[in-house]
Each structure stands twice: as structure tokens, then as C-alpha cells.
Structure 1
Amino acid sequence: MKCPFCGYGESRVIDSRPTDDGERIRRRRECIRCQKRFTTHEIIESLPLIVIKKDKSRQTFDRNKLINGMMRACEKRPVPLQVLESAADSIEMTLQNSLDREVTSEKIGELVMEKLKDIDEVAYVRFASVYRQFTDINTFMEEVTKLLNSKKSSNQQQKL
């Protein structure tokens, strides 16, 4: 940290305290050359997550869009909002932890379907029908058949 008084590049930390509910750290420093003290504030740098849409346009990740999409899929289903918010938290954490600053909308859609499959099967099929753009009843039935087969295999594994 450069001294604001003499411009020297080294200082030592005298005191550190969290501020703003732990979002920032206030540090009291002392210049090694001139011994003058100054204060710095450190914050966590959060880089925006960019979503690459199907048409190759880019926009910042919007958690509200994620929750709204899941709410539409869960409409008239017994799924509490808190469960959807928890799923959105998990999806957002997965995306942030991937260290990729750009993610495709397809990747987000797959993560949503993965979560909805565990939350509510009807909501999963609803979301999949829009997300995968089912064009006829056969593609719809294929997805339902996959869901039933995965459910059967997981039930058989639980019995063992």
C-alpha cells in the first residue's frame, strides 16, 4: 500500500477491524519511511457473472429471472418460495464457484432442471418443455419416460 504522504510503497498494519457487517475491513497502517499513519478500507471484489444467451447476446446474471422462471414452472404446485430461493442460492453459488465469468443460458437451464427434478417432477417437466422447446407430444413423452426410468432405478437402488 502506497503512503499518501510520502509515496513510499511499504507500510505495516497497526490495526484491523471488520466494518459494514463484515463486508469490509478497515485497516490502520503506518508508513515504514515517514511513520505517518493512514487508514485503508478493503472490500471483496465481486465480479459480475455474464450470461451468454442463445442469440449470442450477453447480459449480467439476474437472480430474479432465475427465481421467476422456477416460479412459473411451479405455478399451482405445493412448492414453497423458500425452497425455490434455496435452489437459486445453490445454482448461483455453483456458477460463482466455477470461476468462469461467462456462462451460457443452456448451462443455467440444465442446473435449474437438475434442481427442479428433485423439488417437483411436474415443475421439472413444465420447465423442460419450455426450455427444450418440445415441438410435439413425442418429445414430451420421451422426457417423461426418462424421468420415470430414473425414478425406477433410484427406487431399486434404495431397496438394495
Structure 2
Amino acid sequence: MKCPYCHHTDTQVIETRVSEDGSAMRRRRRCSACDKRFTTYERTELMMPVIVKKNGSRTEYESGKLRASFMLALRKRPVSAEAIDSAIMHVEEKLLSSGEREVMSVYLGELVMRELKKLDKIAYIRFASVYKSFKDISEFAEAIEEIKN
């Protein structure tokens, strides 16, 4: 680790602790050249998979887009912010645990639908109507029948 003061590359770890929230390792270091001390943090870097759209184009995963989709489907519905956060977390965990570098947008849509179905049936129908591009009322009826069973 390079010293931030003198840029010498020989530093020693004096103390190692887990951060308060448990998400990082905190290390106190001492530079052997200038004898100054500094702190470094070691965190896990999680790489979300790239999303492959239906037309074959690829885009970076954006948690903001996922949240916006949930919020639009759940607009004016009696669902708590904690429940929404939990559902988003479940979707992101599934994406990470897939171990894939790329996932199809269809898979992401199915994950969202699964979580919305658990949260709120109306939100599920709202999302499904756009996601599955319902053409007529019979497709709405099929989706509603699916929820009933």
C-alpha cells in the first residue's frame, strides 16, 4: 500500500478491525519511510451483471431503474418503504447469486414480477400489463385468474 504522504510503497499494518457496520476491514498503517500513520478500508466489490435487452443491446444494471419500476407499479398502493426495499434487495441478491456476467432483461422482469406478486396483486397486474404488453382485456383476465389460483 502506497503512503498518501510520501508515496513510499513500504507500509506496515499496525492494527486490523472490522468496521462498525461489518461491511469493511479497517486497517491502521504506518509508513516505514516517513513514519506517518493512515487508515485504509477494504471492501467487497460486487459486480452486477450486464442486462441484455430483447433487441440484443447491452446496458449496465441501474438500481435506480429497478426502484423506479417498483415505485411506478406500487404508486398509491398501501405498501411500506421497508417492504419495497426488501423486494429490491431480493431481486439484486438473485442477480448477484446467479454468478452470470450477463442476464437477459426477461429474467430481470420475471424476478420483479415474482416480488410484486408477493407485495401487492394490483401492482403485479400493473407491471405485468406493461411488461407483457397486454393487447386486450382477455390478457388482463388471464393474469387476474392466475393470481386467484
Q: CA deviation at 1:54?
A: 1.5
SS in 1 for 2:144: helix
Instruction: List gaps (5 residues or longer) in structure 2.
Output: 1-8, 30-37
Q: Which residue of 1 aligns with 2:127?
A: 127
Q: CA deviation at 1:16?
A: 3.7
The answer to whether the aligner puts 1:55 opposite 2:31 as a matched pair is no
1:141-160 superposed matches below 5 A: 141-149=141-149
Contact 2:52 2:103 in 1 (8 A): yes
Q: CA deviation at 1:25?
A: 5.0
Q: CA deviation at 1:19?
A: 5.6
Normalised TM-score (structure 2): 0.75
Percent pairwise identity: 41
Q: Which residue of 1 aligns with 2:72?
A: 72
SS in 2 for 1:125: helix
- Please give the per-residue CA displacement for 1:73-107, whole angstroms capped at 9, x wherever unaligned: 11121112221111001110111111112111111
RMSD: 3.2
Q: CA deviation at 1:15?
A: 5.5
State how many pairs are aligned: 140
Name the amino acid aligned to 2:120. D
Q: CA deviation at 1:124?
A: 0.5
Name the amino acid aligned to 2:27. R
Q: CA deviation at 1:136?
A: 0.9
SS in 2 for 1:26: strand
1:87-98 superposed matches below 5 A: 87-98=87-98
Distance 1:146 1:47, change over 3 A: same
Instruction: List gaps (5 residues or longer) in structure 1.
Output: 6-12, 29-38, 150-160
Contact 2:47 2:96 in 1 (8 A): no
Contact 2:18 2:24 in 1 (8 A): yes
Distance 1:19 1:81, change over 3 A: closer
Distance 1:75 1:43, change over 3 A: closer
SS in 2 for 1:93: helix
Contact 1:19 1:26 in 2 (8 A): no
Name the amino acid aligned to 1:46. L
Question: Which of 18-27 and 114-123 deviates more?
Answer: 18-27
Distance 1:20 1:101, change over 3 A: farther
Q: Counterparts of 1:61 and 1:135 in 2: how far apart (Å)?
A: 28
Q: Which residue of 2 aligns with 1:156?
A: none
Distance 1:57 1:20, change over 3 A: farther
